[in-house]
Amino acid sequence: MEKQEVLDRLHQAKRAHLAWVGRAELLTQGVPVEKDQIPVLHTDCPFGQWYFSDGQALNDFPEFEAIDEAHRHLHQAYAEIFKLVTEEENASMFSKLLGFARRQHERNEPLIRMHMEALEEASRSVVHHLDALEKKIREMEEEQFAEAVRA
C-alpha cells in the first residue's frame, strides 16, 4: 500500500469519525437521528470499520494502537447517551401528556451531558492519536514507510 493512499484513507476515517461525533451531539440536542445512523458498537461505525480492516496495516505503529482504547471509551459513553435518550423517546403518550416524560428528560439531562463530555474527551484523544500517526507517516521516507507496513 502506498504512503499517499494510506494518508488519504486515514483522512477519510478521521472525517467519518468527526461526522459520527457530530451526529451523536445532535442526538443529545433532540434532533431526530435514525438509529441505524449511529451504531453503538465501536466496530460498526465507519471509523471502526476502517480501523479493524484497512487500518490494520498500521497496527505496528504505537499511535495506531493507542486509538483503540479511546475509541472504545467513546462508544461506551455513546451507549449510555443512547440509552438515556431513547428511554425518553419511548415514553408512552399517556406519560407525555401527564408531563412524566419532561421530568424524566430533566432528570436525565445531567447524565446525558456528563456522558457527552466523556464522549468528546475520548474523541479528542482519537483525533490526537490520528494526528500523531499522520505526522509520523508524513515524516517517513517512502521506502521506510513501505517497510513498516509490510512488517
Could you give the domains of the chain?
3-150 (1.20.120.30)
The residue with cell 498500521 is 58
Residue 137 scores a pLDDT above 80: yes
Integer CA distances (angstroms), 122 to 51, 63, 111, 127, in order: 16, 15, 17, 9
Residue 101 confidence (pLDDT): 45
Specify the range with the lowest mean pLDDT, choosing from 6-10, 19-23, 136-140. 19-23
pLDDT in tens, 68-125: 999 999 999 988 888 887 765 554 444 444 444 455 567 788 999 999 999 999 999 9
- Number of Cβ within a 10 Å radius of residue 91: 15
Calculate what percentage of the chain has a pLDDT beyond 70. Answer: 80
Higher-confidence position of 56 and 98: 56
CA atoms of 65 and 78, how far apart (whole Å)? 21
Residue 102 confidence (pLDDT): 52
pLDDT band at residue 39 under the 50/70/90 scheme: low
Residue 37 scores a pLDDT above 70: no
